[in-house]
A and B are shown apart, each in its own frame.
Chain A
């Protein structure tokens, strides 16, 4: 069976060409000027560009607020869904998962149109509410998954040993469900920090997020600056994914 390992070769070549090389190219372009000479100029430009810095800070702020709100609203929902005494219906679970399957742009557009019709001024408030709409299912699903599979005997044991229900929740269930929360944070924080179309829809182009700035630079052929900004984003993503290390097993199995 061992020579079967060569079967991975086509995909290995594919990965090098379409995954590794493009990422290397981001780095190469980020450290070059328009003429192809090595420079730190693109990063210097970013740190001097107050507009870009402010947008960057705002993106992080929006992403953190969105993630926090999703945990706050999503954790209780996931907890109720996983609790057989409080919720027997499988349909509610499907209803919470389903938005993940619908095109995000469509859902965002529908949300923006609803705000518009209700006469709500589009701005930062609608941006955050709209994002919570978009990403809440991605927080609920991993937390629900881990709570649902959690061995119930831990909670029973804690109760037998005299813990109050409140203590069982905070000292047993919450710590055990942390991997689910971390996957949820990954699935919410990263897309929010990098989104571009969604923020434009929800604020009627009034508020720009970091993704929009990257897109504008790439589209107006400022590839080097765009690549430098992408690299800044990659660093943020890298830092966030350190949170996750090898607790990945919760994410699979959506089908």
Chain B
């Protein structure tokens, strides 16, 4: 009985939570310009999205491209910068270590709007004209701390003797780094990369303040301007649906595999 009520509560909450997205997904299969007005089943919006045959498409397609490219560059750079930094921080002691860890925590604790405003003021102060480069730099700023925090635990868990052994057995520091250290850090680097990538994809406020006035749009800023103009571009509905289904499949497969692995470990 208790279990029944518990399950009811969970599923009720889930249904309410997912109602908006399901609603968008349902209405992505009709042609109507106005949301909530069903004019028969159609996949036209999907075709439009993929062929780019719609009004103002150029800008939606460019916004999607910008979002992905910025996220990729930011995630790659922060993974490299963050991993190198984590190795350095791991070997530091005392005050310097505390100071750098504190600075590393600030972008994660700061609300987006503060990060955005402060970087905006930095670029104004340095007279750097804002655009693509400043957005990428800003994204690297708030992504790298997550990489550092994903890689550091791997370093603390690692047995330092393995690295020393490689050196004793004649490996040069570079070979030891590539063959011993990096493989052990890889899981941390991968989860850091994924975190950085999704943080960058999701970002709105920081991009908003650092993109300048050259008309650079990412998906978030595109949606923002679009919604403020009044009508939501109908092609955003299939867009949202595709992203939603993609993430759902990805997360469920990752988690089911994790659970299956932990079960086989136990047996």
Contact = CB atoms under 8 A, between A and B. Distances in A.
A218 B206 CA distance: 13
Interface residues of A, number: 86
Contacts of B227: 109, 112, 201
B118 A105 contact: no
A86 B2 contact: yes
* Most chain B beta-carbon neighbours within 10 Å: one of A91, A98, A136, A226: A98
Contacts of A11: 81-82, 84-85, 88, 100, 144, 148
Contact of A200 (B109, B111, B112, B228): B228
B209 A218 contact: yes
A169 B120 CA distance: 48
A105 B140 CA distance: 21
A102 interface: yes
B243 A102 contact: yes
Contacts of B89: 5, 8
Interface in A128-161: 133, 136-137
B240 A2 contact: no
Contacts of B109: 190, 237, 241
A233 interface: yes
B103 A16 contact: yes
A7 B121 contact: no
A230 interface: yes
A76 interface: yes
A179 interface: no
A68 interface: no
Interface size class of B (residues with CB under 8 A): 35 or more
Contacts of B137: 18
A178 interface: no
B20 A114 contact: yes
Interface stretch (A23-31, A41-49, A50-58): A23-31
Interface in B227-267: 227-228, 232, 240, 243-244, 247-248, 251-252, 255-256, 259
Main secondary structure of the interface of B (DSSP, over half): helix
A181 interface: no
Given A10-B85, A25-B118, A19 B3 contact: no
* Most chain B beta-carbon neighbours within 10 Å: one of A20, A110, A116, A195: A110
A227 to B, nearest CB: 6
B113 A9 contact: no
A120 interface: no
B255 A114 contact: no
B198 interface: yes
Interface in B178-204: 191, 194-195, 198, 201-202, 204
Given A86-B2, A94-B251, A111-B20, A80 B9 contact: yes
19 contacts: A1-B91, A11-B144, A12-B103, A14-B141, A15-B103, A23-B106, A80-B9, A86-B3, A95-B14, A98-B247, A103-B219, A105-B223, A109-B227, A110-B20, A113-B232, A218-B120, A237-B110, A241-B109, A254-B195
Given A18-B140, A233-B114, A255-B150, 20 more contacts: A4-B91, A5-B93, A8-B91, A9-B88, A18-B122, A19-B103, A20-B106, A25-B122, A26-B114, A105-B204, A109-B223, A109-B232, A116-B35, A191-B111, A197-B204, A230-B114, A233-B111, A234-B114, A252-B149, A252-B150
